Amino acid sequence: MTKKNMYKGIAFALGACFVWGLIFIVPYFLPEYSSIEIVIGRYLFYGSASCLMFLKAKCHGGCKYPRAIWLKALYFCLIATIGYYTFLVLAVRYSSPDICALILGISPIAIAFYGNWKQRETTFRSLIVPSLLILVGLIILNISDFLNSPSPISYSLGLLFSFMALAAWSWYVVANSKFLKQHSEVYSSDWATLVGVSSLFWAFVLILILAPFFETPIEMTKYFTPKFLIGSATLGLICSWIGAFLWNRASLYLPVSLAGQLTIFETIFGVLYFYLFTQSLPSPIEVIGIIVLLSAIVYGIRKFARKKAFVDEISPH
């Protein structure tokens, strides 16, 4: 793959992380809603919008895929959305957001090594330096909150669910990249739409499963406030559909081990959004952590840029 295509892939990956970073800040403006309510609102919007896009494409003779592709979309959606977010909510409940964020922040390292193991694209030795830099940067970025938290030993369940969420997300990034490269007939936009339609199915399943456990009657009126609708639309349309589309394009251009390292920008953008919306500045130690994370990505990109080829040349949709 040419350097030009690599830089295109990097641009798409940065775009995806740019919108994914909003996932961390939108719930900040919805404190009166539970995590489950927010995630259901997100995927109802994502699924509904995807259904409209699917119907429009069908009217124009597009988006025609066999049952096997639909089953893949359902499977990917179950692990990457419902499974991942359920583990995330449980992790936060049993441990703390700080510890959970630190563990999930390791995903670029996990994706890089797991992806290179599944699709050998570089030497494992070349992944050691950027992975160590990412780990150090994450520790620096979270050290103050981590030290002020109760002992992680008492949070064994939370740690377990955190690692399960980490495993689910890492699997998805690698499997999604492999699927798109092996099925060039599936357009990036169509794949985002198919997964979105599948998310609507799983959202209704989640509602049916959780409804009996609500202690008080559900007040539907609170879900039709401008605040909740705008927040859910932002998460469902921008973070989910547009984010998925951009990441699908990036997955076609980039080797998965490099794409995995770039996911750290989701954390970086999330941190920057937090300081922007709270009108505050990061502490000097947090600035150092961000600089270390960025140096890891620069190192990884330069290592790959020196290669003459990364993966077989393809024609991304």
Indicate the pLDDT class of residue 317, thresholds 50, 70 and 90: very low
pLDDT of 222 over the 50 cut: yes
Q: What percent of the chain has pLDDT over 70?
A: 79
pLDDT of 291 over the 50 cut: yes
260-274 pLDDT per residue, tens: 778 888 877 887 888
Mean per-residue pLDDT, 203-215 = 72
* Poorest-pLDDT segment among 178-192, 222-236, 253-267: 253-267
CA distance 295 to 317: 31
Q: Tell me which range, 68-82, 91-105, 286-300, is most confidently predicted by mean pLDDT.
A: 68-82
The reported pTM is: 0.78
pLDDT of 311 over the 50 cut: no
CA distance 289 to 294: 9
pLDDT of 257 over the 80 cut: no
Indicate the pLDDT class of residue 160, thresholds 50, 70 and 90: confident
pLDDT of 1 over the 60 cut: no
pLDDT of 37 over the 80 cut: yes
The confidence score (pLDDT) of residue 287 equals 80
* Poorest-pLDDT segment among 49-58, 177-186, 254-263, 297-306: 297-306
CA distance 172 to 15: 19
Indicate the pLDDT class of residue 255, thresholds 50, 70 and 90: confident
Structure tokens of 49? 């919008």
Mean per-residue pLDDT, 218-247 = 89
The set of residues, in sequence order, having a beta carbon less than 8 Å from that of 194 and lying 6+ positions away, is: 50, 54, 63, 65, 69, 70, 73
The set of residues, in sequence order, having a beta carbon less than 8 Å from that of 171 and lying 6+ positions away, is: 79, 114
Indicate the pLDDT class of residue 211, thresholds 50, 70 and 90: low
The confidence score (pLDDT) of residue 113 equals 74
**What sign has the CA pseudo-torsion 249, 76, 85, 138?**
negative
